[in-house]
Amino acid sequence: MSLSDAPLGQTVSYPSRYDPSVLFPIARAQNRASLQLAEPPAWTGADIWTAYELSWLTPKGKPRVAMATFTVPADSPNLIESKSFKLYLNSFNQTRLDNAQALRDRLERDLSAAAGAPVTLEMMLPQHFARQQIAELEGIDLDKLDVEIDTYQPAPELLRCQDGPVVEETLCSRLLKSNCPVTGQPDWGSVQIRYRGRPIDRESLLKYIVSFREHAGFHEHCVETIYTDLMRACAPEALTVYARYTRRGGLDINPWRSNAATPVIAESRTARQ
């Protein structure tokens, strides 16, 4: 199946009963081929999805609600198209299940089958909602730089490295934006870059991040592109690229890719999520 067969951008009916057939996997290989990698990706990583609109019925027909965080490994053959994910989760709304564990079992089984690799999840029931925390990505705020920008398609040639000793630092920006490659809807995000290596020129990095502003690409693809472009431009010894995108339809997507031995991945959602 091709992307034109996906429910994204099409008028579809939301199923009211459990229906795993609506899940639409998309092979990662095509986008990675466009990155012209000389060998299979050396990164580790995951796509972290947060579902804020999860509901089902008890055997007596009483609704229950929960939140869930799904982790799709970056080495899975497929990513899961976001609208199909929403359709799938909503198919539980009128589905009677014995308990939350029965829901968890179905979610893990179906999503792992779609991704082609084990998908794990953490479910949060209402009694634990108060534990949710909001925090911004840590790091030096690139958005304070006063720069002139006129490029709004990915431009890796903007990236510059400075001469000097190896540094270890964390940089961040809230100005990441790309567009859905099917619907053209904006995808808003924050991005964090941790690295050890030659100093990355901060103004050039901010210009590069903003250059995605009119780019059509899935969240996961954008993060892999940023990671690949930084490795080619500056060859850091260690690099982690982590993006947290704002939610749409009750789901947010937060991909990260890293070659660090112990990557640091923040768990809190940002204020815009």
Q: 39 a known binding residue? A: no
CA neighbor of 64 nearest in space, from 20, 101, 23: 101
80 is in an annotated binding site: yes
Q: How far apart are the C-alpha atoms of 92 and 104, rounded to whole Å? A: 11
CA distances for 16 relative to 25, 130, 243, 267, angstroms: 21, 29, 32, 32
Catalytic residue among 47, 172, 180, 229: 180
- Number of other CB atoms surrounding residue 196 within 10 Å: 14
Please confirm, yes or no, whether 172 is among the known catalytic residues.
Answer: no
CA 136 to chain centre: 16
Q: Provide the residue type at 134 as one letter.
A: I
- CA 143, CA 202: separation in Å to the nearest integer? 10
Half-sphere exposure of 270 (CA within 13 A, CB side): 22
Which of 187, 222, 229, 252 is labelled catalytic? 187
What does the alpha-carbon distance between residue 21 and residue 265 come to, in Å, rounded to a whole number? Answer: 32
CB-based contact 37:28 (threshold 8 Å): no
Active site residue 222: no
Residue 220 assigned as binding residue: yes
Is 249 part of any known ligand binding site? Answer: yes
* Binding positions for NADPH: 82-83, 248-249
Residues annotated within a binding site: 80-83, 219-220, 248-249
Which amino acids are annotated catalytic? 180, 187
Q: Which residues are annotated as a binding site for substrate?
A: 80-82, 219-220
